Amino acid sequence: MRYSGLKVITEGLRGNTGWTPAWRDPAPKPAYDAIIIGGGGHGLSTAFYLAKNHGLTNIAVLEKSHIGSGNIGRNTTIVRANYFLPGNSEFYSHSLKLWEGMEAELNYNVMHSQRGQIVLCHSDGQRDALARRGNAMINQGDDAILLDREGVRELLPYLDFEQTRFPIYGGLLHPRGGSARHDAVAWGYARGADQRGVDLIQNCEVTGIDIENGVVTGVQTTRGAIRAKKVGIIVAGRSSQVAAMAGMRLPIESHVLQAFVTEGLKPVIHHVVSFGMGHFYISQSDKGGLVFGGDLDFYASYASRGNLPMVEHVMEAGMTLMPMIGRAKVLRSWGGIMDMTPDGSPIIDKTHIDGLFIDCGWNYGGFKAVPASGWCMAHLMATGESHEVARKFRLDRFATGHLLDEEGTGSQHNLH
Amino acid sequence: MRLKCPLCGDRDRREFYYYGAEDYLRRPGEGAALTAWDDYLHNRDNPAGVVKDLWYHEAGCAQWLVVTRNTVTHAVSGVDLVAERKP
Ligand SMILES: Cc1cc2nc3c(=O)[nH]c(=O)nc-3n(C[C@H](O)[C@H](O)[C@H](O)COP(=O)(O)OP(=O)(O)OC[C@H]3O[C@@H](n4cnc5c(N)ncnc54)[C@H](O)[C@@H]3O)c2cc1C
Ligand SMILES: [Zn+2]
């Protein structure tokens, strides 16, 4: 079924009786040409682009819970292309272009809103670093505008410009940055993949990976064995467990990242704003809730909830930056499990097992990467070659010393 | 979360710095293969369940600790001094 404004109106007049489910609920077949483990944003976009770009439609996405239950439905939805290092820069630039065409491509409203993202600076050194980053973004063909203090005040008059502890020196505005509705991205790719013949199999947990003589032959699941010549592991925070089924030990440590939302308010924060001191970032959803978050809880965790010290820290950082939010009531907080790598950059690569591929290590920045990760992983699985914008996301880069340490914080998993 | 330091007793989590898995205690010897260094620095078992990891009692006795805890429930079942570890 094609969605359109006219369809919404006619269905409204007909009492909304004509809508059909957005995707089928098929039983698993005994064999597929390719299997994707994990029905998060990245697994779904990979399936979609395998079908759309490479004509591979006899494929299944196996999801242990329901579509959208993982990080794709838990993130704070920031979409940006403001990376600095060659390797990251071209990838996120490609991703942002795909975001800009996503709604037309999927015939789905993902509420992508390019409201502008502003990173603030609070010292001369930080300003110089932002100027350098802005130049890298412009060189990559994306947009960046360095704002002075008055430029920031014009856009964000509600910040505390009086305080002396972290004075606001200026900021870097990325006009094409913004946010989107996270669930809609999962649903849009799920529907698009389903329409092209992909089987989305929910409540189907992969419990084993079958390998014969170094070649993958299929997977074991809670709904039986399924054969396939190509298997992609795309399970975010659970990457270490699934890779262990194939005897692999990954450069990943899983950590919990929390996020928060307030009651709905009238429009007040019109951009995505990041504090340059103390990790804090905020935007306002279309429902009016202020959506914000901060840093990891800092110790390895698989609990999808965090601890109080980080709650306190995030609230303090928010109050330091914009005291006006102190009167809003926090409605909910939650956590998601992040696949942290030692350099903070992702992995899209083959493994030492023939036919087994892996896409993981998204740290806490994988939402913006959903389209390009799927695009590049599909390219890799279909052709056996890395896509040119993802060619540095190698699994062996830690062994060979080709790290992509965007933040320059060293090879400790929780510091990125 | 609270950790029971063997020297200082039960303390708030905020007094401690988390470093990573106790793999950091198994530093490869001089002349070890590059793959051993790669494994030591980067690769982790990363289990959902019981782990041993390294914490530093930064705002306390300044001792390095091995904490045994569950990454799914956050329950802590043991805190030992690295200095008293048997080789
Ligand atoms: C609080 C928070 C805020 C964030 N904010 C941002 C942000 O502002 N911008 C941004 O770019 N990124 C952000 N991220 C990161 C982003 O959400 C993730 O990097 C990204 O969603 C991970 O990829 P995914 O969508 O495929 O993961 P997921 O949705 O987690 O998908 C993985 C799926 O694999 C399934 N699975 C696991 N094991 C198995 C198995 N054995 N068999 C079958 N299925 C299995 C899981 O059930 C899950 O559905 C944030 C994350 C969190 C938690
Ligand atoms: Zn102590």
CA-to-CA dists, residue A384 to A42, A78, A349, angstroms: 18, 31, 9
Q: Which of A255, A298, A301, A405 to mutate to test the interface with B (most CBs of B within 10 A)?
A: A301
pLDDT band of residue A379 (cuts 50, 70, 90) is: very high
CB A296 within 8 A of CB A364: yes
Rounded to 10°, the helix A182-195/A370-383 angle is 30
Give contacts of A295 with chain B, Cβ < 8 Å.
Answer: none
CB A301 within 8 A of CB A237: no
How far apart are alpha carbons A28 and A43 in whole angstroms? 17
Q: Ligand 2 is a single-atom ion; what residues have CB below 5 A from it?
A: B 5, 7-8, 57, 60-61
- Give the tens place of pLDDT for each residue, A389-400: 999 999 999 999
Close Cβ partners of A386 (under 8 Å, ≥ 6 residues apart):
A348, A349, A376, A379, A380, A393, A394
pLDDT of residue B87: 65
Considering only CB atoms, A399 lies closest to which of B38, B45, B47, namely B38
Mean pLDDT of chain A: 97
State the closest ligand 1 atom to the C-alpha of A221, by its place in the atom list counted from 1. Answer: 42
Bridge partners for A147 per DSSP: A171
- Give the tens place of pLDDT for each residue, A233-287: 999 999 999 999 999 999 999 999 999 999 999 999 999 999 988 789 999 999 9
**What structural domains and CATH numbers belong to chain A?**
5-77+182-251+343-415 (3.50.50.60), 98-178+253-340 (3.30.9.10)
CA A268 from chain center: how many Å?
A: 25
Ligand 1, CB within 6 Å, residue ranges: A 37-43, 62-65, 69-72, 74-78, 205-206, 234-238, 242, 257, 259, 293, 336, 362, 364-368
CB–CB contact A398 B14 (8 Å): no
Backbone angles phi, psi at A182, to 5 degrees: -60, -45
- Whole domain around residue B59: which residue ranges? 2-84
Secondary structure element (H or E) that encloses residue A7, with its range = helix A5-13
CB–CB contact A249 B43 (8 Å): yes
- Give the tens place of pLDDT for each residue, A229-245: 999 999 999 999 999 99
Chain B residue nearest residue A308, CA to CA: B1
Number of structural domains found in chain B: 1
How far apart are alpha carbons B13 and A178 in whole angstroms? 35
pLDDT of residue A14: 95
pLDDT of residue A145: 98
B50 at the A interface (CB within 8 A)?
no
CATH number at residue B65: 3.30.2270.10
Provide mean pLDDT across the span B22-41: 95
A299 at the B interface (CB within 8 A)?
yes
How far apart are alpha carbons A377 and A53 in whole angstroms? 11
Count of other CB atoms within 10 angstroms of residue A396: 12
B33 at the A interface (CB within 8 A)?
no
Close Cβ partners of A165 (under 8 Å, ≥ 6 residues apart):
A320
- Give the tens place of pLDDT for each residue, A2-38: 999 999 999 999 999 999 999 999 999 999 999 999 9
| Helix residue spans in B1-87 (DSSP H) | 34-41
- Residue A11, classed as helix, strand or coil, is helix
What six digits make up the tokens of B70? 């569950």
Buried b (16+ CB within 10 A) or exposed e, A25-55: eeebeeebebbbbbbbbbbbbbbbbbbbeee
CB–CB contact B20 A253 (8 Å): yes
Sheet holding B64-70, edge to edge: B17-21, B50-56, B64-70, B76-81
Backbone angles phi, psi at A296, to 5 degrees: -60, 165
- Residue B87, classed as helix, strand or coil, is coil
pLDDT of residue A278: 77
Give contacts of B42 with chain A, Cβ < 8 Å.
Answer: 251, 342, 398-399, 411
CB A335 within 8 A of CB A256: yes
